[in-house]
Structure 1
Amino acid sequence: MHSTTRAGSTDLTARARIRDAAVRRFAMDGMSAPLRAVAADAGVSAGLILHHFGSRTGLREACDEHVLAQIRQDKASVLGTPGNTGALLAQLARIEGYAPFVGYVLRCLQAGGAVSAQFIDHIVADAVGYLHDAEEAGTVRPSRYPEARARVLAEQSLGALLLQLPAQQDHLDLDELPVWLAAYSERIIPPLLEMYTEPLLTDSTLLDSYLAARPAGAPAGASGPAAATDGSRAD
């Protein structure tokens, strides 16, 4: 029993090491980076990658899951508790450690196609969840259109990141990326927090007028091909 437990622990450690190496390698060289490079980074054979993940697709899915979990955890820690400024400051202090995750997200967006669209859908679904939890905690205002709001916020965030495109080059230097991240964060966080906490518009006239003019039966907060069945709260 003891040897079986140790073997299982070793397998989990090897799997995590391969996954972390893949996140970094895909961030540096793109989603088409060869598995032999990932294996070399992790100090294992390419065969062991296939043993643990079955295929490149399986490895990519594990990387997606890991990166999405980190994003979800960080967002929830900032929004989940009223007055929790410490979580945001702590994340800014650890910005160097986020380079592989940011690089990975950039490469996912660059890759395009169905896999990239699915990754974005997962980000939106996670955002719906942690924004709902933040509403329950009293740190975020409820929305008429929770799913549509989550998608807009995610698309704006990802689009702004992609526009900067520090990953335009074939190889992304993860040692230099934290410097870029620090400068980027310093530029966008103050105006974003201002807009989120002190709304840009001084009253609700535009929203009230728009809602009053909408055709009867129009889907609330419509977004994407599934808009007609959007289950968001209507007025």
Structure 2
Amino acid sequence: MSDVYLPGDPPIPLILRRSTRARRISLRISQLDGRVTLSMPARLAEHEALEFARSKEGWIRNHLDARGADIEVGLGAEVPVGGKMLKVLPGAGRRVVLGADHVEVPGPADRVSARLGAYLKEVARDRLAGACDDYAARLGKRYHRITMRDTRSRWGSCTSDGGLMFSWRLIMTPPEVLDYVAAHEVAHLAEMNHSAAFWAGVEQIYGPYKAPRKWLRDHGSGLHRFKF
């Protein structure tokens, strides 16, 4: 696997991946981080794959434009918290303070991003633990632990021994979306699948879930644009 560039304004970095199983050239754009992967058969000449990418330049740029640029979190930036956009402002004292339309972060400017990220992870853990406690009680099941990660492929998971894992970025979503994901993973304590019985369990402990599930499909990937 190597990195090359598609010329233009601006140049587009391409991840060139050779595969013995690939039968043709293909392009994939990650909605999470905007990476463009160009896959090709192992024996194909590199210039042929790059020519294919050049022929798809318009398609690539349209998709990258639709995704939007990454956002470096710092003073003056706006970040979503609980589904609302809050402006990051300098704070006094030692604590991060959430306001109605802003969040105050104390400390040196070059530490604001890391400090806010750490704070949001703590709040996410507290909110998710509370939601999981409630839903587990409704289901009549117990979980054994909660782990927070910055996952890219899933918002949560449940292991067979009752371990729950969540993306801390759920704290950026509207509260009903975070609650839905908590209920979804708790429901796996009873059904380790996505059968009709599983979805009935989600509805039993959470209620109608189609709207928050759709919100995640439509908007979830955009939360990874915020770089802490």
Q: 1 or 2, which has the higher helix percentage?
A: 1
TM-score range, shorter chain: under 0.3
- TM-score normalised according to structure 1 size: 0.26
Q: 1 or 2, which has the higher strand percentage?
A: 2
Higher relative contact order structure (alpha carbons within 8 Å, sequence separation ≥ 6) = 1
- TM-score normalised according to structure 2 size: 0.27
